[in-house]
Amino acid sequence: MTDGAVRPRRDWYHPSRDADGQLFQEFQAKWRRGNAAAKAAAEAALARQPLQPPQPPAGPPAPDADWPPGYDTVLLSYIREHLPELGEEEAGALVEAARRGLLPANKAVIRTRYLHLKDLEPRFPGFSARDAVLGQPRLLRHSAAKLLKAMALFQDCWPSDPVGLLMPGMGEALLRDPVGVAHRLQALSRALRSELGVALRPREAFTPDRAEASAAFLAAAPYELEARVAALVTLFGRGDAAALVERELGVLALPSQVVDGAVGALREVFAARGHRVPVPADRHVGTPEGAAEAARDRAYVTALVVAWPGVLEAAAVLGEEGMARALALVRRAGMRSRREDLDLRYDGSGSRSRLLADVAARPELLEAAVLGVMGAGGGDEGVAGARVQGEVAERLGQMVSELGGSGGRGEGEGAKAVEGRS
């Protein structure tokens, strides 16, 4: 029997018709030949095109990669002529967006699609093509028909807010997945209302200056958003979590595990006894004194996070060691400022309490130090460290002057945040 011949039904292999085993051996030989041929074909394909490591997704094109010399002047004059409702700064913003590859390459397409978006304004109350394009320039890369369909679909799924008013802040994410964005907003609104008693205000939460963060935030699954809200309640309590979310909804962009690790690092660094100072045996957390001290540490970190929500992201990036370096940078900035009042402020007994009180009263001190540690590549030595120390010392001096020159031994605004801490 040949391999290419069609085998009739009576020739199908069955043990009852294979007393001597010849038929089975014939089938087995055919299977071996087929497997060998498949293996050879796979090896040949692999030899022609070897496996490559996975490549990251391509980001936006580099600035000026395909930008002809003088094209910015040509495009700017074209926008001024054909889109007169855009001001000088707005036209310049569109040119800069085109330079970064966010707009179509053809200037006539830019004009046509902008006018098509203008035609959608009567259909959606509050929609402004000008605001939408300035907030989300990538919208001009899509046709008005696609945008019309996405906006109508989103409005059906989320009737709480006019979709036209949301386009400047979340138009790109809405265009990509209108139903998914609506479901995420519903889950987030339900979680905020039930867990924190806070109403979701998308227009205030998703603004054009947070477009990239909003897109990443709206990519999370609905159940993940609910879990993040519950995690904030567990870590900070209902009242403080509500204050934190009302101040900065962007904290929900961080996964629960990241927030948990960041809070743990902050509690270690800003502990009243000092960073990594051993706990005495008679003051462990199981004793009333140790429990009260741990509660004060938690309350301090909560107040700091509410005052500056960005400290969570900073702690997630720098970790415990990085935040300890930032706090040490604030202390050294006061000690080396060549001002007698600041030099005394962080010297002697109670210096750590005053340091923590100053950070709680002026979180911008810690923010400047964090930026300095990040800019120095994880360190604070050298020119970058000296520059940041000077900036922190200047802000610290302004704070002391506002307090009436109380100097090193006085109590500042942040004393309430560390009341009872040693």
Q: What is the mean pLDDT of residues 228-243?
A: 93
Most confident of 49-58, 209-218, 241-250: 241-250
Per-residue DSSP letters for 250-307?
GGGGS-HHHHHHHHHHHHHHT-TT-TTPPPPGGGSTTSHHHHHHHHHHHHHHHHHHHH
Query: Does the pTM of the predicted model rise above 0.85?
Result: no
Q: Which pLDDT tens digit goes with each residue over 184-235? A: 999 999 999 999 999 988 888 888 777 666 777 788 889 999 999 999 999 9
8-state DSSP, 61: P
Q: Of the given ranges (215-219, 290-294, 396-400), which has the lowest mean pLDDT? A: 396-400
pLDDT surpassing 60 at residue 241: yes
What's the confidence (pLDDT) of residue 31? 82
Q: Which amino acid is at 352?
A: R
Q: What is the mean pLDDT of residues 311-328?
A: 90
Q: How many C-beta atoms lie closer than 10 Å to residue 233's C-beta?
A: 17
pLDDT surpassing 60 at residue 415: no
Q: Which pLDDT tens digit goes with each residue over 100-158? A: 888 988 889 999 999 999 999 999 999 999 999 999 999 999 999 999 999 999 999 99
**Percent of the chain, pLDDT > 90?**
39
Residue 237 φ/ψ region, left for φ over 0, alpha for ψ in the -120 to 50 degree band, beta for the rest: left
Task: Show the DSSP H helices in 308-381 as ranges.
Answer: 310-335, 340-345, 351-361, 363-375
Q: With contact defined as beta carbons under 8 Å apart, do 132 and 139 qualify?
A: yes
Q: Which pLDDT tens digit goes with each residue over 1-44? A: 445 555 555 556 666 766 777 777 777 888 889 889 999 988 88
